[in-house]
Amino acid sequence: MDERFDLIEEKLEELATKLEEISCKVDSVSSDIETDVENAVESAISDLSCDLEGTVEDALSNVNVGQSPLITVFSQDKKFIIPAYAFEARRKKNGEEPYLIIAQASPSGNTRVVGRYDNKDAALSEMQKIFKAVYGGPKFYEIK
């Protein structure tokens, strides 16, 4: 009878060892699944974020596409007729003369030099004339 108990006890110990191994494997698989799910969620969120940014950029560019130019200008050198969405007077090189008038030639921000001036006063005087043309005159102006 002792022999049978010893055999049963041995089998129970083997079974306990196997159950312990199975428990460790389940814990490992569970951890792997948890890590895989976290990585998948992070990847999906990242992809969604990129898609959302692209959609917002597309929407903004579509809004700008419908924007009408402020005025159409004939460049000072008589080489360009440009629809203008904005104007800027600034120095060609920081701290040096001459001054430029630059027109934003598209809703997306492309620019073109439309006039060159010897000094700041001449450029700002021309900007005043452009302003008056945009807000009160015909929708075409010749840069002088």
Q: In tens digits, what is the pLDDT along the chain, a chain of 144 residues? A: 678 777 888 888 888 888 888 888 888 888 888 888 887 777 767 666 666 666 556 555 545 556 788 889 999 999 989 999 899 999 877 777 789 999 998 888 889 999 999 999 999 999 999 998 888 877 777 888
Q: SS3 of 132, please?
A: helix
Q: Is the CB of residue 89 less than 8 Å from the CB of residue 124?
A: yes
Place of tokens 């579509």: 62
Q: Are strands 71-74 and 140-142 parallel, antiparallel or unpaired?
A: parallel
Q: What pTM, to 2 d.p., does this model score?
A: 0.51
